[in-house]
Structure 1
Amino acid sequence: MIPTRTSTPLAATGTLTGLALGDALGFPTEFNDVPSILAKCGPWRQMQLPEPAFVTDDTQMTLALGRAIRTAVDEGLLTPERLVAPLREEFVDWSRSPENNRAPGRTCMTACGLLAGDRPWQEASQIGSKGCGANMRVAPVGLVPGLSEEQRSGAAQLQAALTHGHPTALAASDLTARAVFLLARGAEPMGLIGRLRSYAYENGDRYPHRWLGDLWRYAGDPSPEAYIRRGWDECLTALDTVQEALRHPSPETDPCERTGDGWIAEEAIATALHCFLLFPGDPVTALRRAACTRGDSDSLSCLTGALAGAHLGAAAWPQEWAERIEYRSDLLSLGALWDA
């Protein structure tokens, strides 16, 4: 039996705040190697939140997804038909916003340009891309109360697929949302990897036709099951790397050396899990570890913050940090909606 606590108090607010704080902490260190980060920021365990605490497209797109889900749920049960239209609108609006000046990913920008037209969204999806842009924004799907497993899984994969069409992008997004959901519901960190592995095995051949339609045909796979299996297989391999890294934990070593640099979706969730599970009771240190890496540091610390916030709630974060994060009012608004 895997230990489970009661649900985390204020898990949604903690998740969204942690996500944004990690994003802001990792923003100045992205595209830097560890020696350069140490020269710029000093010892990694003492890294301070920048002033001002600006975030990147990771937080901006998380908020876009959150608003789209809120719009869809206001109309009734969450369905693909209700979600696609507001999601397209939010993503396109983000892509055209003057605030979208934080080095946005090429895949997201290309897909959003295509989503602005009338074509089916499957034609806009970048079928060969499994960049971490697919799952760095998915945390809201793990937080919305009252969803069935089919709704949560389908929504996680659909939001990824609008921009990133590679099956690993879909599976990693589903897995990331599942991790947030489990932690917010009180799952203990010590059992998390095992539960995620079980989830990946159970869903390995399940293609969510209702949510994805004929997306699989664009990839050239012989069947929808073969298409989605490729993604889950890569995620299982990534989870194996986390398990192996944690057998011999080395907090002072760059986590990217063990679980990947995080530019692609399965490595992003693997290295975020690695950082979180090195310090499950010390969320600020987990963020700092993720931000001081050679890889996609803002996305890694963003996802690490989401996991830590789901586990520990809003109380995880220093008040002085939380009060000055960019988009604070938007984060708190969605958090309050889903904490209720």
Structure 2
Amino acid sequence: MSRVTPTGGADPSAVGPDPWLLRVRGAVLLAACADALGAPFEGLAAVDVAAVDHLLETPPPLRWTDDTALTLALAEHLVRRGGDVDQDELASAFAAEWAAGPDLGYGAGVAAQFARIVAGESWVATSQEAFGGTGSYGNGAAMRVAPVGLLPGLPLAEVARRARRSAQITHAHPLAQDGAVAQAVAVAVAARSRQDTPIDTDLFLAAVATRLRTPQFRSALSIVRVLARRRATPGQIAEAVGNGVAAVESVPAALAVFLADPQRPHDVVRSAIQVGGDTDTIAAMAAAMCGARCGEQGLPVLWGLRLADTRRLWQVSSALAAVDSDRSGGRRPSTRTDQH
């Protein structure tokens, strides 16, 4: 009997050997590749397609940025905690990751927060005091949150809760927290979708929107629905939802890119970079969704060969896939249909 997921497809645990491991590895590895591939184009309003294609197919090493570094730090924390989020411990882990490689492209705001945490200050104060007391509304919490969506069998309500807790450490603004929730839930739903069944865009976005708290973010997802149905071009996506560092721009952009062509990892990354703006983060987030759906087998071979520090990526993703679902409060995806 098929195991049904929120999108109406079968549970990946019902098809093939160790499918969950392949989904988790696919998400982590493809996102790291996309992060590295998008980094050279970060900040460009218009991206040269020929330059993107050249980089996608040439042999230089792919070196990932702070997006992947913090993703790995979160994944390692989840493994240590059996899937739980201990905010104090996670704040220290993030700060230690920054201190070990501060030149990986961290934004000035979050770098200042991490420096204060290393110096012994509370993450609660550093998060709430950011940007004049409004808190950051950027995409830093969303760019690193995919591992929460890759916890085995965690109900989507719990995915959202843990994603929000992980975001609060650096991003007190509700829009940034909604961005992390949207990204984590999207990765979770993609990972549980059946590869031979088309994604139902309406169900997919409904599963995400249900977990959000701000009308601005839900409104952005309504635009994503239209863009996905039209299979919008990267330029149209950028014009409709934006491509900046704000979570309410970049997360919807990544969702729109993924939903336009969820079966083609190479094309998803290519299109995400062409959206322009915060290219490494938009590409990494779209790739995390696509890798979770297509699995490790969807990773372009050349990219995998070029990727830096693959040992850590493999070790962390393998450990994350094996998190004890009883300890994490979840379960392996089951026959239940009420996870969304």
* Amino acid corresponding to residue 193 of structure 2 in structure 1: G
Q: Secondary structure at the match of 1:255?
A: helix
Q: Secondary structure at the match of 1:52?
A: coil
Are the counterparts in 1 of residues 23 and 294 from structure 2 also a CA contact under 8 Å? yes
Which of 107, 110, 122 is matched with 1:108 structurally? 110
How far, CA to CA, are the matches of 2:122 and 2:230 in structure 1?
47
Are the counterparts in 1 of residues 141 and 170 from structure 2 also a CA contact under 8 Å? yes
Structure 2 residues without counterparts, runs of 5 or longer = 1-5, 14-18, 323-340
What is residue 154 of structure 2 aligned with on the other side? 147
Which of 153, 160, 167 is matched with 1:160 structurally? 167
Q: Secondary structure at the match of 1:294?
A: coil
| Cα distance change, pair 42–236 in 1 and its aligned pair in 2 (3 A) | closer
Which of 138, 143, 163 is matched with 2:145 structurally? 138
* Amino acid corresponding to residue 11 of structure 1 in structure 2: R
Which of 168, 180, 183 is matched with 1:176 structurally? 183
How far, CA to CA, are the matches of 1:22 and 1:247 in structure 2?
24
1:43 shift after superposition: 5.2
Are the counterparts in 1 of residues 79 and 320 from structure 2 also a CA contact under 8 Å? no
Which of 45, 48, 68 is matched with 2:77 structurally? 68
Query: Which 10-residue stretch deviates more, 6-15 or 165-174?
Result: 6-15
Are the counterparts in 1 of residues 88 and 123 from structure 2 also a CA contact under 8 Å? no
**1:326 and 2:308 are equivalent in the alignment:** yes
What is residue 66 of structure 2 aligned with on the other side? 57
What is residue 32 of structure 2 aligned with on the other side? 20
Structure 1 residues without counterparts, runs of 5 or longer = 205-228
Deviations 1:286-337 (A, max 9, x none): 1011112321000011011101001110001122211321221111112212
Paired residue total = 303
What is residue 194 of structure 1 aligned with on the other side? 203
How far, CA to CA, are the matches of 1:321 and 1:2 in structure 2?
29
What is residue 314 of structure 1 aligned with on the other side? 296
1:198 shift after superposition: 4.5
| Cα distance change, pair 26–50 in 1 and its aligned pair in 2 (3 A) | farther
Which of 203, 213, 222 is matched with 1:240 structurally? 222
How far, CA to CA, are the matches of 2:276 and 2:310 in structure 1?
28
Q: Secondary structure at the match of 1:245?
A: helix
Q: Secondary structure at the match of 2:293?
A: helix
Normalised by the size of structure 1, how large is the TM-score?
0.81
RMSD: 2.4
1:270 shift after superposition: 0.7
Normalised by the size of structure 2, how large is the TM-score?
0.81
How far, CA to CA, are the matches of 2:79 and 2:266 in structure 1?
29
* Amino acid corresponding to residue 34 of structure 1 in structure 2: A
Query: Which 10-residue stretch deviates more, 145-154 or 86-95?
Result: 145-154
How far, CA to CA, are the matches of 1:256 and 1:49 in structure 2?
27
Are the counterparts in 2 of residues 26 and 299 from structure 1 also a CA contact under 8 Å? yes
**1:90 and 2:97 are equivalent in the alignment:** no
